[in-house]
Each structure stands twice: as structure tokens, then as C-alpha cells.
Structure 1
Amino acid sequence: MEKLLVPIDGSKHSMDALLEAKKLGSRCNTSKITILNVYPTMKQLKYVQYESDYSKIEESMVENSKKILQEALKLFEGYPGEVNTISKKGDPAEEILKLSEEGDFDCIIMGNQGLGKFSRALLGSVSNKVSNHAKINVLITK
């Protein structure tokens, strides 16, 4: 496997998936691991009442995404291959699927659960959508 895509949301399950990707990548001499964080659009945040709150909320989500990716990179110190990060706005499952095709990845490695019941109610099960619609292999960690 040359290229792995690891979508994360900062949850314990996604960080476990990162560690699994690091182990697998080291064993398989994977040359490139891409860590992806997707934060929702304002349309997905149905509970925001005032448009004036949008910019503050989006700014906070962008900063949180950067923080999550910086923490993830720390886990890869000393990793022999290339590791990069991508932050995107959109529907997590759709963005993961789109990048997996555009980036010519060999496998998606992700956790089976995200941040919790609220996120699942809001966005649906991302791992379920990805595993059902991906055109490449998906490894779901527990």
C-alpha cells in the first residue's frame, strides 16, 4: 500500500485509527499518509439561530480542525514516510469519499465511531457511509 487516507475528528476512535495507520504504514513501507479532518458547513449546523453567529462558529471550527491535525502530526514524529494533513469544510462522508478518489489512495483507515450521539444524529454515521460507498478498501478500527 503506497497511499493511506486517515480521516479523523479528534475522537479516541479516530486517534486509534491513526495509530493503526502508523503501524500498518511502517510494516508495509507506505510512502504517504494523508490525515484528513472535515468540519461541517453552516447548513449542517441546523441549530444555529442567527446568521451573525456563523462567522464566529466557522472560525472556531477552522481553529479546532487545525488543532486536531497538529495533535495528529505529533503521533507521526519519526515516521519514515511522508505525512501530510488536509482540513476541509463539508459533509465528512462526502469529502472523505471525494478525496479518496481524487487522491488515488489505496485504503481508508478510520475509527468506527466519532464524537458521539449528537454528531451521529446531526451527520449520520460517517464510517457507515464511507464503508458502503468507497471504491477502495476501508479498514475500520475499533
Structure 2
Amino acid sequence: MPDNVLVAFDGSPLSERALAYAIENFPDIPITAIYVINPIDSVIDVEGGGLPVAADWYDNAKDRATRIHTTATNLAAERDTELDTVTEVGKPARAIIEYADDHDIDQIVMGSHGRSGIDRTLLGSVAETVTRRARIPVTIIS
């Protein structure tokens, strides 16, 4: 049984399922939801469909992170669970693995993918990379 669980949470339906899985399967263990601001999103605007203004992308990304953390916290509260949230900046797979290594995380739970279509092709599979490179167990929810 793990002592600390990290859930990759990006607001997608699969990340919501991953969070629910972690809460249900690790009810008495501290859970942290991580959201990674990916600088590549300043070039590929995944939400707006166009190129963002460079000065605005980080502020917009921080606002999105806040909304995502609120969603995660509310989902956990509905299940009477407290949740820590953290935002990192960088390549998502690398940031998730580094956070786990640096914070004594011993279980990662994540959705099989958060994006689809061209974004997934261009950026690669975060879940696949985390699974291959993490030194701890990774549970993939699909």
C-alpha cells in the first residue's frame, strides 16, 4: 500500500476517472493532484484554436490551472476527501516524474490520455512516457 499518491489531473474525463480511482482505492492515503503547464501550449493553443499572444499565454495557463485545481478539489470534496494540488511548468511527463521523485510519491495514477488527435500525435503520450520512466508503480485509467 502506498504512502503518497500523485494523480495527474488535467480536467479531462479520464483524469476525473483517475482521481475517483485514487480516492476509492487509497481512501486513507494523502493524494496530490498535479497539473502541468506545458510551454508548448504557448505555440499550439489547444483551447483557442489559434496562436495566443505571447505575453498572455502564461497568465491564461495559470488561470486554467486554478480552474482545474478547483474542479479536482470539488470532486474530492464530493467524496469527503481532502486533496492537495500542485502546478508545475514543463514537459508534462518529465514534470510528473520529477515531482514524484522529489516528494516521496510511491504511486502515480493517471488517465491513458488527456488529449486526442493532432495534439496527442505532436506531443506524444504522456501516460506512456510516465509508465516507461517512473521508478514507482503507475496505474493507467482508460
TM range (shorter): 0.7 to 0.9
- The structure 2 residue matched to 1:38, chosen from 30, 36, 57, is 36
| Two-structure CA RMSD over aligned residues (Å) | 1.9
Q: Which moved more, 1:88-97 or 1:53-62?
A: 53-62
Runs of 5+ unmatched residues, structure 2 = none
Count of residue pairs brought into register by the alignment: 135
Is the 1:44–1:122 contact (alpha carbons within 8 Å) kept by the matching residues of 2? no
Deviation at 1:59, TM superposition (A): 1.1
- SS for the counterpart of 2:110 is strand
Runs of 4+ in 1 over 2 A off after TM superposition: 43-50
Conservation of the 8 A alpha-carbon contact between 1:13 and 1:112 = yes
Q: Tell me the secondary structure at the aligned position of residue 76 of structure 1.
A: helix
* 1:13 alignment partner AA: L
The residue correspondences of 1:90-101 to structure 2 (distance < 5 A) are 90-101=90-101
Cα distance in 1, alignment partners of residues 31 and 66 from structure 2: 17
The amino acid across from 2:19 in the alignment is L
2 CA distance for matches of 1:58 and 1:130? 24
Question: Superposition pairs for residues 109-124 of structure 1, below 5 Å?
Answer: 109-124=109-124
How much does 1:47 deviate? 4.4
Match of 1:10? 11
The answer as to whether partners of 2:36 and 2:90 remain within 8 angstroms in 1 is: yes
**5+ long unaligned stretches in structure 1:** none
CA contact (8 A) 2:33 2:83 kept: yes
> What TM-score, normalized to structure 1?
0.87
Q: Percent identity?
A: 28
How far has the Cα of 1:120 moved from its partner? 1.1
For 2:44 and 2:92, the matched residues in 1 are separated by: 18
